[in-house]
Structure 1
Amino acid sequence: MDHAVELRDVRRTYGRGGQAVHALRGVDLALPRQSFTAVMGPSGSGKSTFLQCAAGLDRPTSGAVLLGGRDITRLGENQLTRLRRTSVGFVFQSFNLLPSLTVQQNVLLPQRLAGRRPDRRRAAELLARVGLDGQGRRRPGQLSGGQQQRVAIARALVTDPEVIFADEPTGALDTVTAREVLGLLRHAVDTMGATVVMVTHDPVAASYADRVVFLADGAPAGELAAPDPAAVADRMVALTSRGPLGAAA
């Protein structure tokens, strides 16, 4: 199967000796193209480190990360920067839009950073797809939180990346708006061929994914296919009650 992202025995350790923190402990995972994967786990399970290593924002201590079949752990910093600008899209909890730029300029920013000619027609098409047709001249401060996250999704899609990494994308939104944003991510996978990897703590958000991958103590702790919120919540309760390194809490 063609995979957008692969992690092969990825380990990430911070510090040395007795003070070492093992954030990831041998993660093996393959994420198919045009799929929606949610990553969940208790606090301190390694979710953020997983996302940072998978997206090329941090280097694993050992193991390999492949993006579109290319081992990004072998790339230099300049090569990694170029790869992130062309092959990776990001959606963050806090939107991370530049307030001094218009909506259209924010969407086109990844193209500019990648040295491409800004494609205004592409930006307008994506804004229409996320329900912001005709809003390109407005500033982020004139939009609601949900609208700003829609802009962030359009921005993540503008370079046709190998994968979109979403870090708690609905954490700052109300329930209704969160569902709309999750529906847009689902739509991007189903109709635009996107690949989405989403870190979340919310079982309802996770239910929009094709599967949920659970982490505990930096290691894989099972998966759920075609997840529903109740099953995801039950699995999270079980993982949280295990305590560190699988011990009973």
Structure 2
Amino acid sequence: MASRRRTEPAARTEAARTEAARTEAARPSPFAVELRAVRRTYGRGDAAVHALRGVDLALARGSFTAVMGPSGSGKSTFLQCAAGLDRPSAGQVLLGGEDITGLSENRLTKLRRSRIGFVFQSFNLLPSLTVQQNVLLPQRLAGRRPDRRRAAELLARVGLERHGRRRPGQLSGGQQQRVAIARALITDPEVIFADEPTGALDTGTAREVLGLLRHAVDALGATAVMVTHDPVAASYADRVVFLADGALAGELTRPDPTTVADRMVALTASTAGPGRLGAAA
């Protein structure tokens, strides 16, 4: 009888731990994206390129983060690993608390189509489709019924409500990037990844596009992660994260263009010179 009394508390304790673990697993993560000790190496031996060297970073939901660094710092590799476009050599990438590192290519493809939006420097619009059809494309690829009303609403948000039937070639570069932002938002993604989204635009148009990304975060609750080399573009973010030689090299909150530019000048100077090997863009 005494032995039975001793085991019952232990059983209750174990049950409590199990229930606590289930509760923790069910609780939504406060982070949209997490990188845990992420490494990415290309090649082997003396020819190996260490693009990322153990990056630890957590990005809160509903935040706008800019990623900057000198050429060869690992910015593009960071974005590709965080977005599930490339697999880390080591470490973990989590999207909304879910570890996506070991997912099959098919599951990664489905995840990118339904939970992630992309905006690229080159727009990546299909010239044979109309503007509205380009916006609706992610829904079609995700196997969803095209929501033309939602597409019209997003085109109105980006100032293109009268351009839905046009082809991308009939639009300016800034207008095409607006279409790309509407396309990125059509599936209500958890995260929008933007890779130099203003690199091909003039200053005035770039500011309009950045304002739309800022609006997506502030008004629509999106999370945005933007790789950029432009201090003005970075100043639209809540936080700027700096990379150098594949590792984190500091950050700024509430950035302004001058402070960002000064930090980039110092960072570039510190990483310049002979003997700097093994990093990638």
TM-score, length basis structure 1: 0.97
- SS of 2:32's equivalent in the other structure is strand
Give, in whole Å, the separation in 2 of the partners of 1:9 and 1:182.
30
1:44 counterpart (68, 72, 79)? 72
RMSD of the TM alignment (CA)?
Answer: 1.4
- SS of 2:108's equivalent in the other structure is helix
TM-score, length basis structure 2: 0.86
Contact 2:244/2:271 (<8 A) preserved: no
Unaligned runs of 5+ in 1: none
Check if 1:129 corresponds to 2:160.
Answer: no
Check if 1:198 corresponds to 2:226.
Answer: yes
1:225 counterpart residue number: 253
2:268 counterpart residue number: 240
Give, in whole Å, the separation in 2 of the partners of 1:82 and 1:195.
19
How much has 1:244 moved relative to structure 2?
5.5
Unaligned runs of 5+ in 2: 1-28, 277-281
Q: How many residues align?
A: 248
2:144 counterpart residue number: 116
1:148 counterpart residue number: 176
Structure whose CA Rg is larger: 2
Which letter does structure 2 place at the counterpart of 1:171?
Answer: G
Give, in whole Å, the separation in 2 of the partners of 1:228 and 1:190.
18
Contact 1:209/1:226 (<8 A) preserved: yes
How much has 1:171 moved relative to structure 2?
0.3
- SS of 2:101's equivalent in the other structure is helix
Give, in whole Å, the separation in 2 of the partners of 1:162 and 1:68.
8
- SS of 1:74's equivalent in the other structure is coil
Runs of 4+ in 1 over 3 A off after TM superposition: none
Deviation per CA, 1:126-155, whole angstroms, max 9, x where unpaired? 000111112111110111100000000000
2:53 counterpart (15, 19, 25)? 25
2:8 counterpart residue number: none
1:215 counterpart (224, 243, 254)? 243
Percent same amino acid at aligned positions? 84
Give, in whole Å, the separation in 2 of the partners of 1:79 and 1:244.
40
Deviation per CA, 1:12-62, whole angstroms, max 9, x where unpaired? 000111111100000000001111000000000000000000000000000
- SS of 2:219's equivalent in the other structure is helix
Check if 1:66 corresponds to 2:78.
Answer: no
Which letter does structure 2 place at the counterpart of 1:148?
Answer: Q
How much has 1:243 moved relative to structure 2?
2.0
Contact 1:206/1:212 (<8 A) preserved: yes
Contact 1:217/1:244 (<8 A) preserved: no
Contact 1:3/1:69 (<8 A) preserved: yes
Give, in whole Å, the separation in 1 of the partners of 2:145 and 2:204.
36
Which letter does structure 2 place at the counterpart of 1:136?
Answer: G
Which letter does structure 2 place at the counterpart of 1:107?
Answer: V
Which letter does structure 2 place at the counterpart of 1:16?
Answer: R
Contact 2:193/2:224 (<8 A) preserved: yes
Contact 1:9/1:26 (<8 A) preserved: yes
